[in-house]
Amino acid sequence: MKRLSLVITVPLLVVLVVFAVDNRQKVELNLWPFATVTTWLFLLALGMLGIGVLAGALWMWLPLTRWRLRARSHERRVVELEAALAENRAMVTELRGGARAEATLAAPVTPPPH
């Protein structure tokens, strides 16, 4: 998994560095009612890319909230049921142990042969 991460990350970083070095010219961004910002083109492009990635992640994360809540609820229920099962198994073991002791006590005692 680490190698796959490196295989993806290193070329991506190389591409981003080459893009940043190649696009160092200044651009003016006019945010009409608020202000005018002068910045480098690569900062503007990578900033918009970052905003797009975050918006896409949020777009995918929000609808899955219902499923995550259901999974947590089911996980809690499984823990409760496992605890109840362990308690029932302990009771069965205790009852079986008591039944064996009663059976041994109730068994007729035969004298050993001579």
Identify the residue with better confidence: 68 or 5.
68
Instruction: Give the domain ranges of the chain.
Output: 1-63, 71-104
pLDDT tens-place string over residues 57-110 = 999 999 899 999 999 999 999 999 999 999 999 999 988 886 665 656 555 556
In sequence order, the β-bridge partners of residue 29 are 37
Is pTM beyond 0.75? Reply is no
pLDDT score recorded for residue 78: 97
Residue whose structure tokens are 């996980």: 75
* CA–CA separation, 72 and 70 (whole Å): 5
Q: 107 versus 55: which is more confidently predicted? A: 55
Looking at residue 69, its pLDDT comes to 95
Work out the angle at residue 68's Cα, subtended by the Cα atoms of residues 65 and 72, and round it to the nearest 5 degrees: 140
In the chain, DSSP assigns E strands to: 26-31, 35-40
CA of residue 85 relative to chain centroid, distance: 27
Distance between CA atoms of residues 36 and 30, nearest Å: 4
